[in-house]
Structure 1
Amino acid sequence: MKQLQTENASIEIRATDRRAHRALVMTTAFASILALASCATAPTPATNPESTTTSNLDPKTDPDTAKNGSPQVAEVRTAQPRLAVTYDGGVLVLDAADGKIVSDFRIDGFNRVNPAGDGRHVLVSTVGGFQVLDTGSWSELHGDHFHHFVSDPTLRDQKFPAQKPGHAVHHAGQTALFDDATGNVNIFDPRALSKETPPKTQDYKTPQAHHGVAVPLKNGQLLVTEGNDESRSGVKLLNEAKTGGSRSTIAASSDCPGVHGEAAALDQAIVVGCEDGLLVVKNGKIAKVSSPDAYGRIGNQSGNEKSSVVLGDYKKNKEAELERPTTFSLTDTATNKLRLVDTDFSYSFRSLGRNKSGDALILGTDGQLHIYDPSTGKEKSVIQVVDEWEEPLDWQEPRPTLLVKGETAFVTNPATKELHTVDLKKGSVIQSIVLPEIPNELTAASS
C-alpha cells in the first residue's frame, strides 16, 4: 500500500449536500427490506412478468388520476421500494423485498438505467434519450412522518432528448443529464417528474462533444468535464446560469487526462477520476491527487457523503485490451492522500459499492463480497454470494453486478439468472430469486 500527498490549487467552489428528508425516506425503505426478506423460507422463482404487487390495505384512488386513466394509487403501511433490472430488450421492475416481478417493459436495444434522484423514478438510457420510468413506489413527508404509496409502474412517453445518452448524476437536489454526441447538458429538479407537466430544464452545452459528465452543485453552480471525441483533459467550474441560460467560468483544471466518473464524499467534496489519479473539488479548491504510476487510471468511483474516503478502481496497463485489475484505490478527501490496496481477486466497474456506515464493498471475481474499512484498507469480512466469474471483454455484456442500499446489498448473477439479497449486518445471503431474463444493469429509484 502506498500513500501520496498532493498540493492544493486554489479554485473557488461550493460543493453540495443531498436533501436530508430524501435520504431518510430511502434509508427507512431499504431497512424494511431485511425484515421482510428474512422471513423467506426458500428462494422463490419469479412470477408472471405481468403480475403486479398488491397491498392488504384498501386502495385510495385519486379521482383525477383515475379519470385520466392513470394507475390506481394505494397507501400502504410501510415503504415498498423497487428495483429496475435491464435485460437484452427490456427492463424489469421488481419488488425489492421479495424479488417478485411487478412489471416487464419491452424496450428494443441495449438499455441502461439510472436513478432519477427522487426515490420514485428511474431514467432509462435508450434510443432517442433518457426515458422516464415510474417505478410506482414512493414516500411523502408529512410533518414528522412519512406516508407510503404504491401503484403500477409506468414507462412514460416523456423522454429527455439525447442522441447518445450518457451519465445521469443527481446531486444538490438536481439531476444533470449528459449527451455524449452533442455535449448538451439538461438539469432539472427530479421532484417535478411526479407532476403532469414535464420538468423545466436548465441547459448547457460543452464547447465540444465528448463522453462526459456534469455534476449540479449548490447555489446553481455546475461542474462539467472538458474534452472532444479524441481526448478528455479536465473539468470546468461554472457559476449559476443567468437570464438567457448563459454561465461564466469560475475556474478550470486541465490536469486530468481521460477524465471519467464522479463521486461525492463528506463535507461536500466532489471527486472525478483521471488516468493519472483524481481531482478533488472541495472548499473552494481543486486538488490533484496523483497516482504512483505514470498510468494509474481511476475511472470509476463510489462515494458516501458520511465518509471522506472515496472508493475507486485502479488500472495500470494502458495497452491492455481489457485490464482485470487486482488493485483498488481509497482516496481521503480530507487529507488528499491516495491509498492503493492489492487483492487476490479481480473485479469490474460494476463491482463497487458503499453501505450506510461507509464501508467499502467490492464484488470480486472469486464470487465473494469483500468489505473493507475505508480508513485503513483492511478487510473486515467476506460474504460468499455467487460462483467464480470472469469479466467479459465487451463492457456491455452482463456480469455479476453489485447495488448497495443501506445495509442491504443486491447482486445479480447472469450465469444463473439470479438476484441475490445480502444482509450486510448478518453477513449472509438471505434470499435468491430466479429471473425470467438474463440480468444486466441494476439500480433503484434513489440516488
Structure 2
Amino acid sequence: MMQSKVSLLALMVSAALLGGCGDATTTIVEKEPIVEDDHDDDHGDEHSSAGRLIVSAKDANQVSVFDLNDNDLMADFTTVNPVSALYATSGSRYAMLVQRNQDLVEFLDGGLWQEEHGDHFDAFEQDPALAAFTLNDSRPTHITYGEGQTAVFFDGNAVTGIPAGVAVFDEHTVEDDGEYPLLSYNTHMHGAAQVRGEYLLSTVRDADSDSTLPDKIALYHQHDDHFDIELVFDVSCPGLHGSAQNHDFISFACTDGVVLIEQSGNNFTASKIVNTDDFAEGMRIGTLAGHHDNEIFIGIAGTTLFSIDPEDGEMLSIDWQNEDNARPVGYGFVEHGEGFVVLDDSGHLSILEHHDHDHDAGEEASPWEFGAKVHVSEEADSMPEGSGFSMAISHSQDVIYISDLIAGHIVTVDLDSAEITAELELDFTPDKILWLGIGAEEEGHDH
C-alpha cells in the first residue's frame, strides 16, 4: 500500500527540464530496481515582480533562494539528501525538492503567491521557508499538472515489493500540511499520470510483463481519499513513456505513436497517431510537452522534435536547426503558449515560434518555425559525465534562466531580443534551477 505523508518537522532540516527520468533520448532507459524564518504576511502591491530563483548545489545537501529583482541571496536551506530534480507546484509557489532514490520530496515555500478575492487577486510576500508537508513514497519520478493540481507518479520498487502509486494535491494542501487522495497500484511501473479535476488519466501495467513500462491507459475517478478505476481505454500504447495535456486533450507517448484522449465534459475518448516515415528504426517519442493555450503538443524523439496536432491527426517534424546532433536537456512553452524553447547539451537555446499553417496549401508544414538561437556556453565540451545545463522559465517576464556548472554562474536570456542580458555569479557549483513567483498568465492556466 502507498504510505500517507509523514511530517519531517522533528528533523528540523531546511531542500523541460528533463529531470527525474534522465534525458530525452530515443531509447527509453527503464529505471532499474534499487537492490526558523519570519512568516509575517505582507500583501498588497509590494510583491516581487521578477520572482525568485531556486538553485541546488551540485552533489550537496543545499538549495539557495535568490531574489530576482536584484539577484541577492535570500537564504540557504539544507535538504535531507542531495536534490535529484526540482519542480514547481501548480501555481509556482512551492519548489518540490525531489530526492528520488531516498523516496522523499521536500517542499520549499518560495514566499510569493496570490489569492482570489472577488473580482481581483491579492498578492502576498514572505520569506522563503521549508514547508512541513512532505511526500514519502517509493521513487517519485514524473510530476505533471492540471487545473491547479499537481500529480506525482511514484514508480515503486520491484525488490522490496512496493507498488507504484499517484498522489494528487494542490497548493492549499501543502500550505495546510493536509491530506490528499492516492491512487495505489498492485505492481511497480515506470508510469505517468495526468490529473483533470476529479479525474485522473494514469497508466496500467501487467504485473507479469518483462518491461517496467506500461502499455495501457485507464480513467480513474476520485472518491474522497482514493481513486476508483472507471475504464481501460482499448487503444494500446506499448512502451509508454511521457505524457502531457492541453485544454481538450491528454497525450501519451508510445513506441509506435502517440495516444490522444479527448475530454468532453465527463466523456473521454481515445485515438492514436502512429509514427510517420520520419521515424528511423528504433526511434520513438519519449517526452511530450503541452500548454493550456496551445492545441499543438510537442514531442521529443532523441534529437528530433515533432508537432502533434490532435484535431487534424497530424505528426510533423520541426526544423529547430539543431547543431551537431545536440540533444535537448531542457524545454518548455513560453509567451502564453505562442513560443517554445529548447536548451541543448551543446550550450544553445533555440527559440521557436508558433504560426497557424494552411492545410489547403498542398504541402504539409509544421506550425512551429525557428526564430532564434542563443549561445549560452563556450565550454560545453568540458561538461563532466552525468552533469549538464539546467533551465528555468520565468512566468512573470519573457526571460529564461540557464545554469552553467562549468562557469559557475547563471545567465538570463531575454526572449524578445534573443540575447543574454544578465549574469549571476555563484560561490558554489550549481546543479538544478527553478523559477517561483506570481505569473503574468491568466489564473488557472498550467505552467
Q: Same fold (TM over 0.5)?
A: yes
Instruction: Tell me by how many angstroms 1:101 deviates.
Output: 2.1
Q: Select the residue among 282, 286, 289 that pairs with 2:270.
A: 286
Establish whether residue 194 from structure 1 lines up as the match of residue 164 from structure 2. Answer: no
Match of 2:75 in 1: 103
d(CA) in 2 for partners of 1:111, 1:211: 17
Query: Aligned match of 1:82 in 26, 34, 52?
Result: 52
CA contact 2:235–2:271 (8 Å) conserved in 1 = no
What residue number does 1:172 align with? 147
Conserved? CA contact 1:234–1:253, under 8 Å? no
Q: Secondary structure at the match of 1:233?
A: coil
Shift in Å, 1:249? 2.8
Q: Which residue of 2 aligns with 1:337?
A: 314
Matching of residues 3-402 of structure 1 within 5 Å: 71-75=39-43, 77-80=46-49, 81-87=51-57, 88-89=59-60, 90-107=62-79, 108-126=81-99, 127-181=102-156, 182-195=163-176, 198-218=177-197, 220-227=198-205, 230-242=211-223, 245-253=226-234, 255-265=236-246, 267-283=247-263, 284-292=268-276, 293=279, 294-315=281-302, 325=303, 327-341=304-318, 343-345=321-323, 346-357=325-336, 358-374=338-354, 375-387=366-378, 389=380, 397-402=386-391
1:445 deviates by 3.7
Residues paired across the two proteins, number: 364
Structure 1 position 384, deviation (Å)? 2.9
- Picking from 407, 430, 434, the partner of 1:443 is 434
Give the 3 Å change call, closer, same or farther, for CA 263–393 of structure 1 in structure 2. Answer: farther
Distance 1:295 1:378 in 2: 26
User: Are the equivalent residues in 2 in contact too, given 1:309–1:333 (CA < 8 A)?
Assistant: yes
The answer (yes or no) to whether the contact 2:214–2:238 under 8 Å persists in 1 is: yes
The offset of 1:216, in angstroms, is: 1.0
TM-score (norm 2): 0.74
Q: How far 1:338 moved relative to its partner?
A: 0.9
Q: Do the aligned partners of 1:356 and 1:405 also contact (CA within 8 Å) in 2? A: no
Shift of 1:404: 2.4
What is the distance in 2 between the residues matched to 1:439 and 1:183?
31
| Residue 404 of structure 1 pairs with residue 396 of structure 2 | no
Amino acid at match of 2:139: K
Q: Distance in 2 between matches of 1:270 and 1:392?
A: 36
Partners of 1:74 and 1:151 within 8 A in 2 = yes
**CA–CA distance in 1 between the matches of 2:172 and 2:121?**
16
Specify the alignment match of 1:27 in structure 2: none
Per the alignment, do residues 155 and 391 of structure 1 end up closer, same or farther by CA in structure 2, a change over 3 Å counting?
farther
d(CA) in 2 for partners of 1:243 and 1:104? 37
Residue 419 (structure 1) aligned with residue 388 (structure 2): no
Q: How far 1:400 sits from its partner (Å)? A: 1.5
Partner of residue 357, structure 2: none
Q: Displacement of 1:393 after TM fit? A: 8.9
Pick which of 378-387 and 112-121 moved more. Answer: 378-387
1:191 partner SS: helix
Distance 1:391 1:377, change over 3 A: farther
After TM superposition, give the deviation of residue 424 of structure 1 in Å.
Answer: 0.8
Residues 132 and 344 from structure 1, CA distance in 2 versus in 1: closer, same or farther, beyond 3 angstroms? closer
What is the TM-score of this pair, normalised by structure 1?
A: 0.74
Identity %: 21
- Tell me which stretches of 4 or more aligned residues in structure 1 moved more than 4 Å: 390-394
Q: What is the CA–CA distance in structure 1 between the aligned matches of 2:145 and 2:401, rounded to whole Å?
A: 21
- Cα distance in structure 1, aligned partners of 2:86 and 2:422: 23
| TM-aligned CA distance change 1:70 to 1:404, over 3 Å | closer
Instruction: After TM superposition, give the deviation of residue 178 of structure 1 in Å.
Output: 1.7
Q: Displacement of 1:155 after TM fit?
A: 1.7
Q: d(CA) in 2 for partners of 1:289 and 1:391?
A: 40
1:253 to partner: Cα distance: 4.7
CA contact (8 A) 2:235 2:259 kept: no
- Residue 311 of structure 1: CA displacement? 2.0
Aligned residues of 1:300 and 1:349 also touching (Cα < 8 A): no
Q: Determine helix, strand or coil for the equivalent of 1:71.
A: coil
Unpaired runs of 5+ residues, structure 2, are 1-35, 157-162, 355-365, 438-446
Hey, what's the Cα distance between the residues in 2 that align with 1:222 and 1:429?
A: 40
* In 2: Cα distance, 1:183 partner to 1:105 partner: 30
Deviations 1:398-447 (A, max 9, x none): 31122223422111112112111112112211111112222222223474
1:211 corresponds to which letter in structure 2? H
Measure, in 2, the Cα distance between the counterparts of 1:180 and 1:348: 25
CA 1:149–1:110 in 2, change beyond 3 Å: closer, same or farther?
Answer: closer
Larger relative strand fraction: 2
